[in-house]
Structure 1
Amino acid sequence: MPTVATTGHMDLTVASVEPVRNALRQALAEEVGADGGLVGISCLAPGADTLFAEAVLEAGGDLVVVLPSRDYRKKQVGPEHACVFDQLVKAASEVVIMPFATADRRAYEAANAELVKRADALVAVWDGTPPSGRGGGTADTVLKARGAGVPVHVVWPEGASRRNQG
């Protein structure tokens, strides 16, 4: 059963949600194993990570959640995302909590490294923007996966955009 991880932008515009959701469904359909099975790994951040996790469950796959720190839910999950976050954690077949008390750069980098380590492939909802230099972002994870020899499938459908990119 193939294991597919995800990374992606959190700041998708409202108009981008359905095109990205549909592109993720298609990408996952291409990754399903000969046995019809699939394991999807996500950190469940708002935006791309959550859309991916929902698509994994919709496809009948097993969801593995990787949380960057012990305080991630309390400190990083806002009220607008809490309900779906909690539902996805409850639906997960496995929840991995990285050994950090607080969600910071090191915790995010470690969570992304765990995604790449477990993945047979990475689906990246990515507009191609280079790394910001802060570490732990989408571009950083794509580069880490490519460096580890993990195939990367970039999903950025026509019409997709980010709130902070105009």
Structure 2
Amino acid sequence: MLRIGITGHSNLTAATVPLIADGLRAALAEHSGTELVGVTCLARGADQVFARVVLDLGGTFEVVLPAADYRERKVKPSNAAEFDELIGKATVHTMPFAQSNREAYMAASEYVLDHVDAMVAVWDGGPSGGHGGTADVVDAARERGLPVTTIWPDGAERE
């Protein structure tokens, strides 16, 4: 069983989503038909695209929620149906934080890093916008010696 985690931008433009899906599909294609398990915090954007690609390739996925209030505080109404559909298909672990904040996000990402064989980063290469952002998770993965595959296709943009 191969366990692959995801970190990535949540603010992808609508036109970028299919580019990222194609990039993820290409990066994970060699694992299609194997016991692929994706591990994600299921934030909108890269995490949810990753979850769908893993399912499309015949894999399963686990969700690590940063805090008990994540669904009610952080999932926007425009993304609630997709979040609920995907989380219903996953094994879920909730971190021991009452409130979603930067500390909880980084702790959830550290949990992901502790439970995977490799990481995929949907990342434009820029610095994190705050503690626990994509660049921080990439740095932490590299410090642990985890292989990181970066996906940011030509034409990809953030909102």
Whether the TM-score (by the shorter chain) exceeds 0.5 is yes
Unaligned 5+ runs, structure 1: none
Amino acid at match of 2:50: F
**Aligned ranges 1:107-122 → 2 under 5 Å:** 107-122=104-119
Amino acid at match of 2:41: C
Which residue number in structure 2 is paired with residue 23 of structure 1? 23
Superposed CA RMSD in Å reads 1.1
Q: Does 1:162 align with 2:158?
A: yes
Q: Does 1:13 align with 2:4?
A: no
CA distance in 1, matches of 2:7, 2:128: 13
What is the aligned residue count?
159
**What's the offset of the Cα at 1:81?**
0.7
Which residue number in structure 2 is paired with residue 87 of structure 1? 85
**What's the offset of the Cα at 1:15?**
1.1
CA distance in 2, matches of 1:97, 1:21: 26
Once the two structures are superposed, residues 80-106 of structure 1 have per-residue CA deviations (whole angstroms, 9 ceiling, x without a partner) of: 1110101111101x1010000000111
Amino acid at match of 2:78: E
Unaligned 5+ runs, structure 2: none
CA distance in 2, matches of 1:74, 1:22: 31
Runs of 4+ in 1 over 4 A off after TM superposition: none
Q: Identity over the aligned pairs, expressed in percent?
A: 49
Once the two structures are superposed, residues 102-124 of structure 1 have per-residue CA deviations (whole angstroms, 9 ceiling, x without a partner) of: 00111101000011111100000
Length-normalised TM-score, structure 2: 0.96
